[in-house]
Amino acid sequence: MSRIVIFAAGSRGDVQPCVALGRALQEQGDEVRLVASARYAPLTAAAGLELAPLTADPTDILESDAGRELLAGGRNPVKFLSGFRRILGPMAERLLAECSDACKGADLILGPTFCYLPMHLGEHLRIPWGLINFQPSQPTSAFPHPFVPQARLLGRGGNRISYLAVEQIAWQLSRPFINPWRTEALGLKRLPLHGRLPRGGGPPRGGPVLACFSPAVVARPKDWPSHITMTGYWFLDENGWEPPKDLADFLAAGPPPVYVGFGSMVPEDPELTGLTIRAALRLAGVRGVVQGDPDTSDEHVHAVRDVPHSWLFPRMAAVVHHGGAGTTAAGLRAGAPTVVCPFFGDQPYWGERVASLGAGPTPLPFRAMTAPLLASKLRRATQDEKITDRAARLARRIQTENGIERAQQIINSTIRTGGN
């Protein structure tokens, strides 16, 4: 039995795949502790996992003025990463202490690339660590970093440099609070300006990079080294979930509707956004299931609070969402034609992948969304036979994968070998 700590700091789309992996690891006999916002305590408890709660709440952050500024930053990596710096900087010392406490007694630490928390804590505890990537984050010449699509204009060399540039921006913004934490709390050497580990002490015992997305969606680059494993998606199925009667009745009362929801993204004017969505559904001539207050439901539009995507999406004619990695994965597995309305970060990238694969129209940035434009995308998604066929074929490929099983194999091997 091993004690595994998984960092899942972020919104539900970041947490849910980690819960799915954690549940599978626990079922094979490991002890799993999830580090995530206290908001996700019910989700964690339902999977039987221990939660080490973080006091930062992603939803509260996105609803703040700084969060709205972050959402408005779009794809610009400097704005995106500096926005996180402004938000997390004041609470960094507290959050880093919470992360350190969560790792006591661990045999393996897994977490995202941002700030390389698994690396620092693995070095401190002298245990293996590994990285979880929800989007392509490792250098390759095949395509640019999701935040820097324009780098493709510089060819294969520009593609590779884009990853190094994003990593350096992230390090320079996090260095002012990571280095003091390393020296004062962890008893480690400061990392140099470029962020690479000093050669004198040698690297910590690292582990794998688990890229938890499908090779059917992103082809594995030929120049990725062997320690990077594209596992496939990690899905958390809630098989026992039963819909409330009003939702079941709505679905049975007519043809499959279109789902529209933007997860934890917070529009600047939610009321105007709701009116725009309903007008677009009306113009497109389709029924809708929308994320919102159930009291606003009517004959043609049913509003829901929280419905598992694994249950809902297969029953939809199409899905409209923000393009988060987890939501995109759920829609593609369901075979639902997808309209992505990205806000920021890697969301435009996933929208472009969906369109490139033919599983949906080109993305419609949220800030440019109008009722006529969204209606046009909806008509294309629901009426274009090429899109519906390609979405169905892609779903069949994804459904044959078992990303969690592949991740378990890599993790078990890492523990056996001590990360070497």
Same domain, 334 and 405: no
Nearest to 75 by CA among 328, 320, 324, 347: 347
76-107 residues labelled b (16+ CB within 10 A) or e (exposed): ebebbbbbbbebbeeebeebbebbbebbeebb
Residue type, 291: Q
CATH number, domain with residue 384: 3.40.50.2000
230, 215 Cβ separation under 8 angstroms: yes
pLDDT at 197: 47
Residue 238: inside a domain: no
80-110: pLDDT as tens digits: 556 555 666 667 788 899 999 999 999 999 9
State the total domains in the chain. Answer: 2
Q: For the whole model, what pTM was predicted?
A: 0.90
| The predicted structure's pLDDT at residue 199 | 40
Residues 205 and 73 reside in one and the same domain = yes
Asked if the structure places residue 239 within a domain, the reply is no
Q: Which domain holds residue 334?
A: 245-399
Residue 60 has pLDDT above 90, yes or no: no
35-57 residue pLDDT tens:
999 999 999 999 999 999 998 77
Structure token pair of residue 7: 């960092």
The answer to whether residues 215 and 269 belong to one domain is no
Verify that 312 and 337 share a domain, yes or no: yes
Same domain? For 203 and 116 the reply is yes
Confidence grade of residue 192 (pLDDT, cut at 50, 70, 90): confident
Regarding whether 111 and 228 lie in a shared domain, the answer is yes
Same domain, residue pair 174 and 229: yes
If asked whether residues 57 and 94 sit together in one domain, one would say yes
Based on the fold, state whether residues 281 and 332 are members of the same structural domain.
yes
Name the band, by pLDDT with cuts 50, 70 and 90, for residue 204: very low
